[in-house]
Amino acid sequence: MASVDHSIEKNIKAYEPSFETMVPTPFVKFMRTCVLWQIIRFIIINIKMLLVVRKSH
């Protein structure tokens, strides 16, 4: 069995800022809830899918 170096684990502290989740910015929150932007993204994704299907047939 190979020995494991535990010195890295000793330097990791629970609940330090690097372990927190990202908080969305106000702009990101707006884009996630904006119906107009969601419609535009829906159209773009559908166009991309049509292009992929057209290439395969």
Note the pLDDT tens digit of each residue in 1-25: 556 666 666 666 666 666 677 888 9
- State residue 42's pLDDT score: 97
* Concatenated DSSP letters of the chain: -PPP--HHHHH--TT-GGGSPPPPPHHHHHHHH-HHHHHHHHHHHHHHHHHHHHHH-
Taking the complete model, does pTM exceed 0.75, yes or no? no
Distance CA 47, CA 42 (A): 9
Distance CA 24, CA 16 (A): 19
- State residue 21's pLDDT score: 76
- State residue 50's pLDDT score: 96
Distance CA 35, CA 46 (A): 16
